[in-house]
């Protein structure tokens, strides 16, 4: 009888410990103020965007046969039913402003001389202490992923960011 009680007690402890253990769904932390599903959407957007790394640059291009910067961002967002203009100057006014140090995957970063002279747009893949990593279509290298915060070329041209995902 006591052997059965010990076995039942052990089984109960195992069940309790399993039931009370946290379940880890992924290794990506949820940013403050974001729901899990919003984070998943943002990660799906950036994962999809990165599938086009290596695509060539094409002036006014809006398809995998060739993208310009804003054609690329609008093409990616369209896949997720997020409608944005194919022009970077118009994208710069869409969604809502977000501080550069609060950007999240899927946010757009704009580059240029001033707010009235937008010359480029890129999509945030991740932000960390090391900087802001973006996926974007460049005239010289096509669609690439790079840290724009450490780039001698892009860093001085960074202007602001917009959140077009959670409009």
Active-site residue, from 120, 123, 143, 164 = 120
pLDDT band at residue 20 using 50, 70 and 90 as cut-offs: very low
Tens-digit pLDDT profile for residues 90-146: 999 999 999 999 999 999 999 999 988 999 999 999 999 999 999 999 999 999 999
- Contact in structure between 100 and 158 (CB atoms under 8 Å): yes
Query: Which class in CATH covers the domain with range 43-163?
Result: alpha beta
pLDDT the model gives residue 15? 33
CA distance 111 to 89: 10
Is it the case that residue 23 has pLDDT exceeding 60? Answer: no
- Contact in structure between 75 and 121 (CB atoms under 8 Å): no
User: Among this protein's residues, is 130 annotated catalytic?
Assistant: no
Active-site residue, from 41, 49, 69, 92 = 69
pLDDT band at residue 36 using 50, 70 and 90 as cut-offs: confident
Q: Is 13 helix (H, G, I), strand (E, B) or coil?
A: helix
User: Among this protein's residues, is 151 annotated catalytic?
Assistant: no
Q: Please give the helix or strand (H or E) that residue 89 lies within, else none.
A: helix 88-91
Active-site residue, from 46, 72, 125, 136 = 136
User: Among this protein's residues, is 69 annotated catalytic?
Assistant: yes
Higher pLDDT, 34 or 128: 128
Instruction: Give the contacts of 137 (CB within 8 A, at least 6 positions apart).
Output: 55, 57, 61, 67, 68, 69, 71, 72, 143
Is it the case that residue 35 has pLDDT exceeding 70? Answer: no
The DSSP result for 101-141, as a single string, is: GG--TT-EEEEEEETTEEEEEEEEEEEETTEEEEEEEETTT
Residue 79, burial from CB neighbour count under 10 angstroms (0-12, 13-18, 19+) = exposed
The least confident of 14-28, 75-89, 99-113 is 14-28
Q: Structural domain boundaries of the chain?
A: 43-163
| Phi, psi values for residue 61, rounded to 5° | -75, 135
């Amino acid at each position: 009888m006591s052997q059965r009680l010990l076995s039942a007690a052990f089984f109960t402890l195992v069940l309790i410990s399993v039931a009370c253990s946290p379940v880890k769904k992924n290794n990506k932390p949820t940013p403050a103020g974001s729901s899990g599903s919003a984070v998943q959407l943002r990660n799906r957007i950036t994962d999809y965007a990165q599938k086009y790394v290596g695509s060539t640059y094409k002036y006014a291009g809006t398809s995998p046969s060739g993208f310009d910067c804003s054609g690329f961002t609008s093409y990616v967002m369209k896949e997720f039913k997020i409608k944005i203009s194919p022009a970077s100057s118009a994208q710069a006014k869409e969604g809502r402003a977000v501080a550069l140090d609060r950007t999240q995957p899927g946010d757009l970063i704009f580059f240029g001389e001033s707010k009235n002279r937008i010359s480029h747009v890129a999509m945030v893949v991740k932000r960390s202490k090391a900087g802001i990593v973006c996926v974007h279509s460049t005239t010289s290298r096509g669609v690439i992923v790079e840290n724009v915060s450490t780039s001698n070329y892009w860093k001085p041209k960074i202007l602001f960011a917009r959140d077009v995902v959670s409009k």
